[in-house]
Structure 1
Amino acid sequence: MSNRKGFTEADVPDQSGKSFIVTGANAGVGFEVSRALAARGARVLLGCRDEAKAAEAITRIKRITPKADVSWLPLDLGDLESIRAAARAVAAEPRIDALINNAGIMNPPLMRTKQGFESQFGVNHLGVFALTSLLLPKLAQAPGSRVVVTSSIAHLKGKIDWDDLNAEHSYSKGDRYGGSKLANALFFFELDRRLRASRSPITAVGIHPGVASTSLGRHMGPAQWAGPIVGLLLNSADKGAWPALLAATGSVKPGGYYGPIGFGGIRGVAGEAKRALQAEDPELAKRLWDVSIAMTGIDPGLLPA
């Protein structure tokens, strides 16, 4: 790494000939990840729900990198049928070197996905589980391929309400967000264990972007983001992209967890991040795996570690 203390965009090597999927790629961290990869010569599929927003992002990227190889991948992580359609479209690609699961929602009012799941668990975890599972055969075709799963600092105090996963009895938006991010952490932990046990060529890693100033926080209210002091503490979207770029292109450990290493993990260059003990609990991880298969009807087909 050229940066002595950690990884930045400047450390991303040439990616010519490689292909990446970035979910939530039209704005914020996902856009910055896509822009940086395209600038390094990669083909980037922008996984987005909205065609107009995807087209706008593609135009912005091509303004910076005129020869950028970027395309829209229609994808709604709140709809399992959309996820299946996206996986079918990806099957026609010559290769996929990494799936960067970046898209997510944070602290919305109680909403439901197309299949009726509580939206934060449904989009942030079940959608990611389903998409990743369906793309594993494609990823396995490319040597050194990777799956990147985005968790959050919020996972550190997260709890999964196993008795009320669909929020039919109670709903606290902050608690549900923390639970969904703990689910992300447990998912990549278990995915890594099973990939290695299966001798798969795919590497699974987790990341968090720090506390990035993006549209993700739009449901939190203006008070959360007001004032210049708060602004100074937050990571910008381009710096929030550094952990994902490290995870997708840098030197990583299978099952590793990466994020900003400055100011309590909120901002700064990317490196190894702190995770909760419960995020590495094999019993919890297996329980989540089994529940995810039951809820989505999609089985990754990997034997337990």
Structure 2
Amino acid sequence: MTTERSKWNVTDIPDQSGRTAVVTGANSGLGIATVEALAGAGAHVVLAVRDVKRGEAAAAGVHGSVEVRRLDLADLASVREFAAGWRGGLDLLVNNAGVMNVPESSTKDGFEMQFGTNHLGHFALTNLLLPHITDRVVTVSSGMHKTPGSPRIHFDNLNLTGEYAPVTAYSQSKLANLLFTLELQRRLAESGSSVRALAAHPGYAATNLQSHDASALRRAFMWAGNRFMAQDSKAGALPTLYAAVQDLPGASYVGPDGLGEMRGAPTLVGRSAAASDPATARRLWTVSEELTGVTFSQSSALTGA
């Protein structure tokens, strides 16, 4: 049996024939690498993307069963439209899309862009799709959830109005991803559902996220890091894939096994104390329901129950 410390790779993915997956942010980077691996193993994969033309161009290079559907996580109306259009079962939802260290801006609904896209958009999407989900939800977080400066959820100012800093906003959103996973798993277990919520992080992977950094200095540093230090997107997608197909407990967190969890084979990894606090996770869930208007009660008819 494959152990968590083995050099696990895409050839270890079990046959995915007959399974359906949705991958958000799937037209480049970690997203398209995840799509390629799942489709290559036999799954039907839906690329949920903001730019359909770019999504179709990406899908054209994938060997396997894929389709493209529009989803803008920075617009709750788009999230609702995507979920309302879903028919039938959904084995796997991969909440992969994200923005990183962008200049201060807002989503269509007025939320800080990184918190609104990375957390609230996926929060709403997951809960709206949950009646269809039969196996698991995998949400992509980051090692940045615990560095620098002990990230926290700024409940008194979630939009960071008047105190915005790109790295602070990104770290908050990635911490929110882990707290969301923790509370989602608690609610699923409490409801008697067999659906599992898991999280993963890619380590230091070379993707196009870094090219949108608000700081020219950080962009230059990340360019050098991407060129000389980072693993490629296919290696960066392995923790997500491991969480998506391995038999792991709910609320598991997967990352690379190398030094500092920067690169390496996927394994179970630890999270910060802030990301492990059930009281904060419940509070964030309540606030997220209020902000999005989407509640877990809407998902009470759980297919996986």
TM-score (norm. length: structure 2): 0.92
Instruction: Say if 2:197 is the partner of 1:204.
Output: yes
Instruction: Say if 2:162 is the partner of 1:162.
Output: no
Report the alpha carbon displacement of residue 250 of structure 1 after superposing the two structures with TM: 1.2
Report the alpha carbon displacement of residue 219 of structure 1 after superposing the two structures with TM: 2.4
Instruction: Say if 2:136 is the partner of 1:146.
Output: yes
1:223 to 217, 220, 240: 220
2:282 to 264, 280, 286: 286
In the other structure, the counterpart of 2:303 is: none
In the other structure, the counterpart of 1:34 is: 35
- SS of aligned partner of 1:100: strand
- Partner amino acid, structure 2, of 1:24: G
Relative distance call for 1:230 and 1:102 in structure 2 (3 A) is closer
Q: Following the alignment from structure 1 to structure 2, what is the Cα–Cα distance between the partners of residues 88 and 120? A: 24
- Partner amino acid, structure 1, of 2:101: N
- SS of aligned partner of 1:72: strand
- Structure 2 residue runs without a partner (length 5+): 301-305
Report the alpha carbon displacement of residue 230 of structure 1 after superposing the two structures with TM: 5.6
- SS of aligned partner of 1:147: strand
Q: Provide Cα deviations, 1:83-108, integer angstroms capped at 9, x if missing partner.
A: 00110122x2x321010000000000
- Structure 1 residue runs without a partner (length 5+): none
Q: Provide Cα deviations, 1:191-234, integer angstroms capped at 9, x if missing partner.
A: 1111101111210001101111000111234322244x663421
Q: Following the alignment from structure 1 to structure 2, what is the Cα–Cα distance between the partners of residues 294 and 38? A: 36
Q: Following the alignment from structure 2 to structure 1, what is the Cα–Cα distance between the partners of residues 265 and 81? A: 36
Instruction: Say if 2:127 is the partner of 1:133.
Output: yes
- SS of aligned partner of 1:211: coil
- Retained in 1: the 8 A contact 2:152–2:274? no
- Retained in 2: the 8 A contact 1:246–1:252? no
In the other structure, the counterpart of 1:5 is: 6
Cα root mean square deviation, aligned: 1.5
- Residues paired across the two proteins, number: 291
Q: Following the alignment from structure 2 to structure 1, what is the Cα–Cα distance between the partners of residues 140 and 223? A: 26
Task: Report matched runs for 1:99-110 at 5 Å.
Answer: 99-110=93-104
- Partner amino acid, structure 2, of 1:178: S
- Partner amino acid, structure 1, of 2:83: A
Instruction: Say if 2:242 is the partner of 1:246.
Output: yes
In the other structure, the counterpart of 1:74 is: 70
- Retained in 2: the 8 A contact 1:260–1:267? yes
Q: Following the alignment from structure 1 to structure 2, what is the Cα–Cα distance between the partners of residues 127 and 43? A: 23
TM-score (norm. length: structure 1): 0.92
Q: Following the alignment from structure 1 to structure 2, what is the Cα–Cα distance between the partners of residues 58 and 114? A: 27
- Partner amino acid, structure 2, of 1:20: A
In the other structure, the counterpart of 1:23 is: 24
- SS of aligned partner of 1:163: coil
In the other structure, the counterpart of 2:112 is: 118
Q: Following the alignment from structure 1 to structure 2, what is the Cα–Cα distance between the partners of residues 20 and 268? A: 25
